[in-house]
Chain A
């Protein structure tokens, strides 16, 4: 069996990018990833792309046509919202390991900041909201996560300042990323004084909206121009539960409900495959759509006890140079959130860190864990990556 690796990564300009179209950014990221791997479009025989919020389900074919990738033995769109790109990685890995493909390109991009469509109404139309039984009651994505946060407080005796710690810690990392959108340090009071979006989530508990595109090339080990920069897959796991909040709340009668997510199942698969546990992870890049999303992930990944994420973060554990640096690029809370491809930034940052190429914000990183999340913290992928063995 072929060993699959991440052979190349590419990010377009990220942030507010009015001068580029979505297609330009997508192609830019793809070409950067190919160049990073030392491959060309002619080497690509698999393509996965999630069309995100307002493109046709055939957008991946349009990208293939634009790039000139004529023959593909795997062409897929992982229609899983924010969890798509973790799921795509697993599919690409299987394809390369099995010999179905030689080199798979995964690419995605979106313009949530300067695109011509924006706002919740667009997201609702694209399925981010449940149109029949939830959106009529004025549900927005922040209010969904606010409902999760409110229940989390009730179950654990946590409060807004616990979540605010997560925003504060993430901003410490963003200060070291020259292209992050927000870099000025913030305090817990700054978070609590920021405008309330939907109780208990303040603006600084919520991610940005950004433009951006990213890409990665998955290949067999040794195919890239510099195998010492190839990143190993140590373990992967996915788990999905539900979509309507009422259904999540009702739970499965086996320990899962709104606040107790199925991330534990995805994590167990990833850890078991890797033969590792939480204490073996040097660095995490977690999908931080909201501070509450981070809190439940830290807990369901086993880094701290349930209900203790705020305290874990307040103690400095996820800070720059901490025991478990989290989102060194500044995450979606401070760096960028380019829509459905946002989870890709978790992967590209983890790769940079593992390669020792995170200039200005390099952490000790031999084993990194990245997540991607969608629906209401109910669809997950976990990817444990390792530095090259070459």
Chain B
């Protein structure tokens, strides 16, 4: 896992099922029953059609890198001594794009389009973050 001093998210009623799913190492997102889209980040209505009729569905855990950056300097932040940190925007197979970190990467992995798969970093008792590595069997 990654040794990063992480600022922690605030868990609230809108997002609690998401954070419970990552804690269970089985990430779930909301999928709209009306238009069948997934959305991220968690919230009370479908981002695409506004419906409140949805269910929490476990995602495949796969995706591709949409963009990436290797953070080398971060003065004034809690993680300033933990650089380099690989930050990526991941397009999940289900469609939504979310930000995460890459781990177990080598420099050739830092490319747009790389197939990735999710893993889970238990930051503390409450918070588990999804992080991504190169897909082993794409």
Give A290 Cβ to nearest chain B Cβ, in Å.
12
Let me know if A199 and B70 touch, CB within 8 A. yes
| B10 on interface, CB distance cutoff 8 Å | yes
Q: Given A124-B7, A133-B41, A244-B41, are A198 and B98 neighbors across the interface (CB < 8 Å)?
A: no
Q: Does A134 contact B (CB under 8 A)?
A: yes
Among candidates B7, B75, B99, B129, residue contacting A246 with C-beta atoms closer than 8 Å: B99
Q: How far is the CB of A377 from chain B (nearest CB, A)?
A: 13
Number of residues from A at the complex interface, CB < 8 A: 37
**A154, B67: Cα distance in complex, Å:** 9
Asked if B76 CB lies within 8 Å of chain A CBs, one says yes
B96 at the interface (CB under 8 A from A): yes
- Docked Cα-Cα span, A259 to B110, in Å, equals 19
Residue pair A246, B9 in contact (C-beta under 8 Å) = no
What are the interface flags for B88-113 relative to A under an 8 Å C-beta threshold, 1 for contact and 0 otherwise?
01010001111111000000001010
Q: Which of B70, B97, B99 contacts A198 (CB 8 A)?
A: B70
Q: How far is the CB of A202 from chain B (nearest CB, A)?
A: 10
Task: Report the stretch among A139-147, A170-178, A308-316 that lies at the interface.
Answer: A139-147
Tell yes or no: B35 within 8 A of A by CB: no
Count B-side interface residues using an 8 Å CB cutoff: 41
Chain A residues closer than 8 Å to B41, beta-carbon distance: 132-133, 244, 246-247
Q: Which residues of A contact B6 (CB under 8 A)?
A: 136-138
Instruction: Check B87–A138 contact: CB distance below 8 A.
Output: yes
Residues of B within 8 Å of A198, CB to CB, are: 69-73, 87
Assess whether A24 is interfacial by the CB under 8 Å rule.
no
Interface string of A167-204 (1 = CB under 8 A from B): 00000000000000000000000000001111110000
Residues of A within 8 A of B75 (CB): 119-120
Q: Is B82 an interface residue (CB 8 A)?
A: yes
Q: CA separation between A249 and B78, bound complex, in Å?
A: 27
Q: Given A120-B77, A250-B97, is A132 in contact with B15 using a C-beta cutoff of 8 Å? A: yes
B120 CB–A CB distance under 8 Å: no
Ranked nearest first, the 3 interchain pairs of A and B with the lowest CB-CB distance are A119-B76, A146-B69, A246-B97
> Given A134-B99, A147-B68, A198-B69, list of 12 further CB < 8 A pairs?
A124-B7, A135-B7, A136-B9, A136-B129, A138-B101, A147-B69, A154-B67, A197-B73, A198-B72, A199-B72, A246-B41, A247-B41
| 9 A/B residue pairs, CB under 8 Å, sorted by A | A119-B77, A120-B76, A136-B8, A154-B112, A197-B71, A198-B71, A199-B110, A244-B99, A246-B96
